[in-house]
């Protein structure tokens, strides 16, 4: 099951018209860069 952060992260990526930096995503979700990388890798 997807947690709310991952759903929000995937929505950000899907609906973005531009490049999103991992640092920016980490700041938006108050998590580390590693967490963002792990979340994305989990659903590639």
pLDDT band at 43 (very low <50, low <70, confident <90, very high): confident
**Does position 30 have pLDDT exceeding 80, yes or no?**
yes
The Cα–Cα gap between 18 and 3 comes to 24
Mean pLDDT along residues 12-36: 96
Mean pLDDT along residues 31-38: 96
Helix (H) or strand (E) holding 44: none
Assess contact for 5 and 31: CB atoms under 8 A.
Answer: yes
| CB burial string 5-44: b at 16+ within 10 A, e below | ebeebeeeeeeeeeeeeeeebbeebeeeeebbeebeeeee
pLDDT band at 2 (very low <50, low <70, confident <90, very high): confident
Assess contact for 23 and 32: CB atoms under 8 A.
Answer: no
């Amino acid at each position: 099951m997807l947690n709310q952060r991952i759903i929000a992260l995937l929505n950000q990526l899907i609906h973005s018209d531009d490049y999103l930096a991992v640092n920016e995503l980490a700041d938006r979700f108050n998590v580390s860069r590693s967490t963002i990388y792990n979340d994305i890798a989990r659903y590639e």
